[in-house]
Every structure is written in C-alpha cells, then in structure tokens.
Amino acid sequence: MTQKFLFFSILFLSIFSGVNSQNIQVIPACTGYAVPIEGYTANGESDMFFPNHGLSGWSSLHQQIEYYFYVVTPGKADLFFTARADVQGNQIQAICNNHKMNATMPVGKAFKEVKIGSVEFKDPGYYKLLIKGLKKNSVNITEIQSIKFAGEATQGMHFNKDCRRNAASVHLKYPVADTSKLVAFYNEVTIPAGSDLVNSYFMACGFKRGYFGMQVNSNIERRIIFSVWDAGTESFDRNKVNSENKVSLIAKGEQVFAGDFGNEGTGGHSHWVYDWKSDETYRFLITAAPDSANGTTIYAGYFFVPESQKWKLIATFKAPKDGEYLHGLYSFVEDFDGANGQGYRKALFSNQWVRDDNHGWKEITECNFSTDATGRSGERTDFGGGTEGENFYLWNGGFTQSDAKYGDIFRRNPQNKKPTIDFSRNVDSAITADKEKAQLKQALKSGLIDTTGSVGGVYYKIVKEGDGSYPELPDTVVVHYKGSLLSNGSVFDQTKAEPASFPLNRLIKGWQQGIPKCRKGGTIRLIIPSSLAYSIRSLDVIPPNSILVFDVTLVDIKKEIPKGNSDPARN
C-alpha cells in the first residue's frame, strides 16, 4: 500500500467515523409504550419493557408499540432496529411521519441490527414511531433492544434516554407566609374530557405533611384519596417506622378504606371509591388542628359530593412531631405509573381559599409553577401550565411543546366566592345518626347514662333543680361546665375557678336545645349527638362524629352580650 493511498484511507475513515458519531441517535427500546397497555409482573413492573432488554414479550398482533422523539434539524434519517426473533418470517411495519416501512426480523439468540427504511422530516417538532406486528410464526413477534436513527435529521434530536416512562409531574405552589396560622385550605378541580387517563393523580390540596385529590386507578375504578406522612426518615417500609413517628387514624367516612402506604415515604392512607366525572367541578377541603403543647396536628380531608350537595369526611389523621398549622400548599398533576406516559393529562384548579385561626377566609390568586426531576433534567419537555380565565391549569404528557418553565408565576382574576362549609348535614349523616341512636340506646340500657327526658334529639338529666328563671335563646348564659366524650369519658374542656359567659344562640345546637330546660342555679347533664354538636368537624380534642356529654351549672342569665371568651360549645 502506497503512502499516498494510506493517507487518503485514514482521512476517509476519520471523516466517515466523525459523521456517523455526530449523526446517530440510539433510543433505548425500554422507553416505548404499548397500546393497549401491557400487563405487569408480580413486582408491579411492566411485563414488556425492561431496562436491560428493551422490548420483550410482545406477542399480540393487535397491540402496537409507540416511541416519541423531537426533531430539531429537518432532513433525512435512516431507521434501524437492533432486534431478534425466535423463528424465520416474523414481520413488522414501522410508520413514521406517515411513511410506512416493512421489515422481517432477524433470527438468532444474539441481537442483530436490521435496517427498516428511511424517513424525511421536513419540520422541527415531535414525531411518533409506530410499530405494528404484521406476521408471526412464534409466540412473540420480536424483541427490540434499541432503535437507531442515522442521518442529518438526528442533529439535536431529543428523546427519553431513561427507562422511566412517566410524564414529568407538574405543580402549582401557592405562596403563603411561614408565619401564617392557616387551619383550612380549599380548592376546586375540573378535569377536561379526554384528560382523565388511567394512572392519573390530580391532586387538589397538598401541604407539608400530605396531599388530597382524585385518581384514575383503572378503567373501572376511580378514587378520592387523602394521605398524611409519618415523621422520621423511613422512605419505603412502614413496618420499620417507630410507633412514636407513625400517623394514626382518628376517624373515617362511611365506605372509606384506611391503611398504610410506603415506597415514597410512609404514612396513613385513605381512599373512597367514587366514580368522578370529567368536566365536573369538584371541591376539596383540608383542615389542621395543631396542638403545640403535645407536638401533634390533626389533619382532615373533606370532599363535596355534587350529587347530594353535601360534604363527606374522607379521613382524619393525627400526625406526631408536628404541632404546626398548614404550610407548603400546592397542587399537582401526576402520571403515577408510566405505562401510558405518552398520554395527555390536564387539570383546571380554581377558587383557592385559605382560612386562618381567627376564622378569616382569604382568596389565593397567585402561584408558582414547578416540575419534578424528570422535567428539570430535560428528560421530558412535554409539560406546562398557566392561566385560563379564572382558572390555573397544569398539563403533562402528549409529547407537545411546553408552554411554561420552572419558576414561572401565574396570576388569575379573583372570583370572590368564599367557600360555604356546612357539615351539619353531610353525606353520611343518616348512617351516623342510626349508629348513634343504637349507641345511646345501649348506653341507656346499660345504665351508662340516665336521663330526665329528651328534646330535639338531645338527652338531658336535671342533676340539680334550680330556683330561677329559664334562659331563652337571645340570652347570655353564665356557666360552669365540663365537656367529655361519651365513647371513653375523656374530658376535652372545662371551666376553672371562674364561670364563662356565652350568647346561647351562638353555641352548638345541642346547647341551644338543652340549656333552656335548666333553671338558673340548677345543673343539667346534656348528651348531645354529633349532628347537634360538631358533626364531622375535626378538632384537636374532639374526633369527628363524637357524642358529647356536658355537665353544666347555670350560674346566671344575662340579657346583654359580653365581649371576648372562646368556647368549645361555640358553633
């Protein structure tokens, strides 16, 4: 070989090698999507897409495989599969940018590269590669380890290099001061038709210790879900969490499942199977009752059921090592599985309000946009958010161009529609009333309680007869009292040396019904069903749906309304 020929040979190989290295893009086959969705292994993993093997176990000619990528540089590219088949004659068809390419898969134990065809991309943008099985002579159609594009169109080509197929999670973070003493967070959510895909979590009310929203769990099941995290650092196994760090269930609504969760932190989980609909607006409310002295906070989730126009308690949890108000408020849209991570999900969030411990409501009209590590790293860029009229919105998936970036601030017009919260007549009222009637009947039968009579659903006993007048609803009553739970006798509040004064018509219904049966100077015991007390409200010392017992001595009756004083029997 002459020196001149050797020089040009080396130059040619160098140039050829450089062109190929710059104009080749290899897509891992594990990043694809099966339509219909594939099944799962015993460990809950995909039974078709594997990090080490790519696409495997594809057996149905009625199932198609999809891959997505973004072209930056228009031009042509050759398409190759690194694949193998069990027997001769298995054929596939690849469709990309409306161009159909047929190919027979190579046979053997080793993967082999086979050229499928060539594609021209005239414009930048997202493209789909669709693979169909045309013919198979074995159980499986083919296995594909990787997909390669070679040519000028690959310059700057973007695709998912990670076998995690989920769309990026996107969030709205609502700015509230760390010093705010918030006891309630209210939000409304609407899912547009077609956006309610399986494996979706549309989370309405998130906070530092948990989240509350709705999911599509399968083609036949949807849920309202409320969860609160444990204290401590365990991320996966709740059995490893010390008892002093565990969230405890205080109460739950009828037909609500309550249990544990793990793998993304640990904690208490609850859900109600409910067939919510797209294009319907749903209302969510979370409350917090902190106990700073004991370092705990009681969190409760409530869902407004439009069919009955009533609220429903989902669950109430006590969180240890807390004692704080609501902080870190947010909403999100999540693709929690990845099997259909190519799908487009969208949620509208509107009419956000928070309430402080002085009972004042304030509307939230501003939020910050964020995304998870998948979005921040650029692995997935098909996500966004913004404002539509009076709504904030979030979306992910669909392999369409993003319309928002991390840190964007969104503002909406105020709606001035303060939430109206009436728990006295809730979804489970009738069932709860029947249970409490049976409980009271048993308590009477066993002698646990003794009564003089009942009025308006309140049982009462005149412990000591007074010699003064009877109070009326407009009056202010001056009383000594002790409040306890019928369930276990625990005292949740009582007066000390000095009596307390309250306008009677501002107290719970049970007091308004029962106190007028007691003369001034007398003592009365009231046994009050939850519907006439605090119903499904979650207080720091009174669980939802609690029958209350009050021992009340009526010291005085006044016509004027005093200033100040707070009261556990106040509405």
Band of residue 536 on the pLDDT scale cut at 50, 70, 90: very high
pLDDT at 381: 95
% of the chain residues with pLDDT over 70: 94
Element (H, E) at 429: helix 429-446
pLDDT at 569: 61
Element (H, E) at 239: none
Residue 412 in tokens: 């909406």
Do 323 and 292 form a contact (C-beta atoms < 8 A)? yes
Query: Is pLDDT of 17 > 50?
Result: no
Query: Does the domain at residues 170-411 carry the CATH identifier 2.20.28?
Result: no
pLDDT at 3: 45
What CATH fold (topology level) applies to the domain 20-159? Answer: Jelly Rolls (2.60.120)
pLDDT tens digits, 103-126: 999 999 999 999 999 999 999 999
Query: Is pLDDT of 560 > 80?
Result: no
Q: How many CA atoms lie within 13 A of 331 on its CB side?
A: 34
* CATH class entry, domain 429-558: alpha beta
Q: How many C-beta atoms surround the C-beta of residue 188 within 10 A?
A: 20
pLDDT tens digits, 269-280: 999 999 999 999
Q: Which residues contact 158 (CB under 8 A, 6 or more apart)?
A: 69, 70, 72, 378, 381
Distance set, CA 362 to CA 56, 182, 206, 285 (Å): 54, 10, 17, 14
pLDDT at 452: 86
Query: Is pLDDT of 342 > 70?
Result: yes
pLDDT at 359: 79
Q: Which residues contact 170 (CB under 8 A, 6 or more apart)?
A: 332, 333, 369, 370, 371, 372, 375, 383, 384, 385, 394, 395, 396
Band of residue 565 on the pLDDT scale cut at 50, 70, 90: low
% of the chain residues with pLDDT over 90: 87
Measured between alpha carbons, how far is 243 from 247 in angstroms, rounded to an integer? 9
pLDDT tens digits, 280-299: 999 999 999 999 999 999 99
Measured between alpha carbons, how far is 164 from 374 in angstroms, rounded to an integer? 9
pLDDT tens digits, 448-476: 888 888 999 999 999 999 999 999 999 99
Mean pLDDT computed over 142-164: 96
Measured between alpha carbons, how far is 118 from 287 in angstroms, rounded to an integer? 59
Mean predicted lDDT score pLDDT of the chain: 93
Provide the strand spans (E) within 292-411: 296-305, 310-319, 330-335, 345-356, 361-364, 366-371, 383-388, 391-396, 409-411
Measured between alpha carbons, how far is 37 from 476 in angstroms, rounded to an integer? 66
Pairing of strands 409-411, 491-494: unpaired
Which residue ranges make up each domain of the chain? Answer: 20-159, 170-411, 429-558
pLDDT tens digits, 363-392: 999 999 999 999 999 999 999 999 999 999
Query: Is pLDDT of 11 > 50?
Result: no
pLDDT tens digits, 44-74: 899 999 998 999 999 999 999 999 999 999 9
Mean pLDDT computed over 117-140: 98
Q: Which residues contact 18 (CB under 8 A, 6 or more apart)?
A: none
pLDDT tens digits, 385-422: 999 999 999 999 999 999 999 999 999 999 999 999 99
Q: Which of 514, 550, 544 is nearest to 531 (CA)?
A: 544
pLDDT at 339: 96
pLDDT at 8: 36
The yes-or-no answer to whether 20-159 and 170-411 have a common fold is: yes
Query: Is pLDDT of 195 > 50?
Result: yes
